[in-house]
Amino acid sequence: MPVLSERWVLRLDESPFAKYMKPVLWLKYRCGLLCKKDNLDVFWGGATFLPRLPCKVRTVITVYDLNFKIVPQTMSITHRWAFRLFFKKDVMRADVVTTISKGSSKRLFDLFGRAVDTIVYPAIDASFSPQSETVIREVLSRHGLSPPYLLAVATWEPRKNLELLLHTFLDMKKQGLLGEYKLVLVGGRGWKDQRLAATLSGTDSVIPLGYIPDEHLAPLYSGAELFIFPSFYEGFGMPVAEASACGTTVVTSDTPELREAGEGGNVIYVAPTQEGIRQGILAGLSPGEMPDALIKDSYPSWETSAHKLAATLVGKSTTCLHRERK
């Protein structure tokens, strides 16, 4: 991670064995030793887990999603077992728990009985706004693209449901329903994506761009006829919020978290099935089906969200007894 402030200190584990440990095991069994040596006041569990810490250390955990409970089959075996072993215990002993959406907050309470202390929403950068035709053409040209196209932005992993999107798109192309439309995929390779990669190798109607510079995202969103995000489950859904902020019509799965992300935009909510995706695409491309874009101007800024998170880190001190009672 870049050191963004002169007040930050980069802490390295100099143990020759540390690099051979799985990240979760390192966090649980090595990180706590470093924290103790540094006489830490507060530990933020930005990766959801907590190491072993002295009682005097205040702990804050951010819960981004509950994949291991909602869609465990989409996770790698290592991550699935790490969450099964440590998630509940760490969340219940944390002094403060934050989430990134009301939907995630409700799921956490329903599944584990742990009330969230505060919700810190992800921010939408000001660069995500409708782009000019000139900027759109320039960015499309850099990537060898031309209108019309549909856009999907996601890592290639099962939870994002890209394989079903791909098959649905290709079937609609064969039926003559999508004319000259291409499907553009933005995002890198993930896991369990071999079948997706194999399908892509047999068509020129789908264009995988991989990772692209951040500054190219808004023009790609703005130039798309539709943004499609058929994920099975999200803790929030940043791409939906970004596309909505760019004024692009969105087709996405009908879940509470994605409804939060799409609030204020032109969004069609569908079941994450082949028929649902198909009907969403047809509705989104039908003239007169959607109202004029309503560009949401009330997304939280990164500064606002940072202040909210900082307030949880400098809150009143706690004791071991207080933590045990929680």
Query: Would you say 170 and 247 are in contact if contact means Cβ atoms under 8 Å apart?
Result: no
pLDDT at residue 326, rounded to an integer: 41
- Are 49 and 28 in the same domain? yes
CB-based burial of residue 73 (10 Å sphere; 0-12 exposed, 13-18 middle, 19+ buried)? exposed
Determine, yes or no, domain membership for 239: yes
Determine, yes or no, domain membership for 71: yes
- Are 142 and 259 in the same domain? yes
- Are 34 and 112 in the same domain? yes
Determine, yes or no, domain membership for 165: yes
Bin 288: left if φ > 0, else alpha if -120 < ψ < 50, else beta.
Answer: left
Neighbour tally for 130: CB within 10 Å:
15
Instruction: Tell me which residue has tokens 């990240």.
Output: 23
What's the number of domains the chain is made of? 2
Query: Would you say 139 and 147 are in contact if contact means Cβ atoms under 8 Å apart?
Result: no
DSSP class of 243: H
- Are 91 and 149 in the same domain? no
- Are 179 and 103 in the same domain? no
The CATH number of residue 216's host domain is 3.40.50.2000
- SS3 call for 322: helix
pLDDT of the chain, 326 residues: tens digit per residue: 677 788 888 888 988 888 888 888 899 989 999 999 999 999 999 989 999 998 889 999 999 999 999 999 998 888 899 999 999 999 999 999 999 999 999 999 999 999 999 999 998 888 899 999 999 999 999 999 999 999 999 988 999 999 999 999 999 999 999 999 999 999 988 888 788 888 787 788 999 999 999 999 999 999 999 999 999 999 999 999 999 999 999 999 999 999 999 988 899 999 999 999 999 999 999 876 555 545 555 667 888 898 999 998 887 544 443 444 34
The Cα–Cα gap between 216 and 51 comes to: 38
pLDDT at residue 302, rounded to an integer: 86
- Are 164 and 63 in the same domain? no
pLDDT at residue 296, rounded to an integer: 54
The Cα–Cα gap between 204 and 134 comes to: 26
Helical residues (DSSP H) of the chain, grouped into ranges: 23-26, 32-37, 67-70, 77-93, 102-112, 133-142, 162-174, 194-200, 217-223, 238-245, 256-262, 274-285, 302-313, 320-325
- Are 99 and 141 in the same domain? no
Determine, yes or no, domain membership for 315: yes
Q: Supply angle C-alpha 13, 15, 20, rounded to 5.
A: 95
- Are 277 and 139 in the same domain? yes
pLDDT at residue 11, rounded to an integer: 84
| pTM exceeds 0.75 for this model | yes
Backbone angles phi, psi at 251, to 5 degrees: -115, 120
pLDDT at residue 322, rounded to an integer: 41
Of 279, 73, 65, the closest CA to residue 161 belongs to 73
DSSP 140-205: HHHTT--SSEEEEE--BSGGG-HHHHHHHHHHHHHTTSSTT-EEEEES-B-SS-HHHHHHHTT-SS
Domain that holds residue 192: 133-285
- Are 157 and 229 in the same domain? yes
Q: Supply angle C-alpha 321, 120, 156, rounded to 5.
A: 110
- Edge-to-edge strands of the sheet including 58-63? 42-45, 58-63, 96-99, 118-119
Determine, yes or no, domain membership for 181: yes
- Are 89 and 142 in the same domain? no
- Are 31 and 143 in the same domain? no
- Are 47 and 118 in the same domain? yes
Retrieve residue 92's tokens: 């219940």
Query: Would you say 47 and 27 are in contact if contact means Cβ atoms under 8 Å apart?
Result: yes
Spell out a b/e string for 223-240, using b for 16 or more CB atoms within 10 Å of the CB, else e: bbbbbbbbbbbbbbbbbb
Handedness of CA 314, 315, 317, 320 (dihedral sign): negative
- SS3 call for 48: coil
Determine, yes or no, domain membership for 10: no
Determine, yes or no, domain membership for 6: no
Q: Supply angle C-alpha 166, 160, 207, rounded to 5.
A: 40
Determine, yes or no, domain membership for 12: no
